A = this chain, B = another copy of it.
Amino acid sequence: MARKPIRSDLGWSTVDRIVVRGKDLPREILGTLNLGDMAFFELTGKVPDEKQSRLFNAMAVTLVEHGITPSALAARLTFLGAPEAMQAAVAAGLSGLGSVFVGSMEGAAKMLSSGKTAKEIIAENKRIPGLGHHLHKPVDPRAARLFEIARETGFYGKHCALMEAIGKEKAMVVNATGAIGALACELGLDWRAVRGIGVMARAVGLVGHLLEESRQPMAETIWHQVEAQATQHIEKK
């Protein structure tokens, strides 16, 4: 069986050169691209123009910090046991960004890029990704703001309109993941990269949580509190 060759086009280096996706890292990238631009460049091979940069950075920034989430708690509880390995605590926090939370963004992007109409999508799907929020209703202020930035940068197009039409038809709020899924389509991003935007953004936020945890810890208190609650129905003797 002929095997696929081992090949990567992301980067290479020699004694005096470091090249990322065809650009000289020190001379062409450092000091020029911000972290969001670099993420866009990694994912698409293209340096974003000013408007793409503004929109993409806004999408990623939206996902950085959500306060106390299961993901932040998993990271903090992991850090309690292994403070010498904060990378492992970030890893633990990222591991839960699956189908329930960040996955809906990917689902929205896939759905909106399928070429189907709002009616078809509604008919075919019981649960539509990117709609609904337990707290933010009738408007998710992040989605509203992201669509606004999309308009300002000229990226409010058919995918955004489709997402909003579906929300209207279902009388449900378009949430942040729905908006980001739509914007990813407008920017021409591969839907397979969309979950990744959430993962990289949350890595930023988790580092923030671990820094706070190292100064103002909560994990040990959570542990003892939950342990007591979880076993209070047991007569211990």
> Footprint of B on A, CB under 8 Å?
3-21, 25-27, 29-31, 33-39, 42-43, 53-54, 57-58, 60-62, 64-71, 73-74, 77-103, 135-137, 139, 141-142, 144-146, 148-149, 152, 190, 192-193, 195-197, 199-201, 203-205, 207-212, 214, 216-227, 229-231, 233-234, 236-237
The number of times this chain is found in the oligomer is 4
Top 10 closest pairs, chain A to chain B, by CB: A82-B98, A81-B96, A196-B207, A42-B208, A203-B203, A35-B36, A11-B67, A26-B145, A91-B91, A78-B96
By a CB distance below 8 angstroms, the chain B residues around A4 are 216-218, 220-221
Contact B85 A136 (CB under 8 A): no
The answer on a CB contact under 8 Å between A211 and B190 is yes
> In the assembled complex, which residues on chain B have CB atoms less than 8 Å from the CB atom of A195?
86-87
Q: Is the CB of A10 within 8 A of B98?
A: no
**Shortest Cβ gap from A142 to chain B (Å):** 5
Residue on B with the closest CB to A80? Answer: B70
Please determine whether B61 and A81 come into contact, CB atoms closer than 8 angstroms.
no
CA distance A208 to B89 in the complex (A): 21
| A22 CB to nearest B CB, Å | 9
- Report yes or no: A221 in contact with B85, Cβ–Cβ below 8 A: no
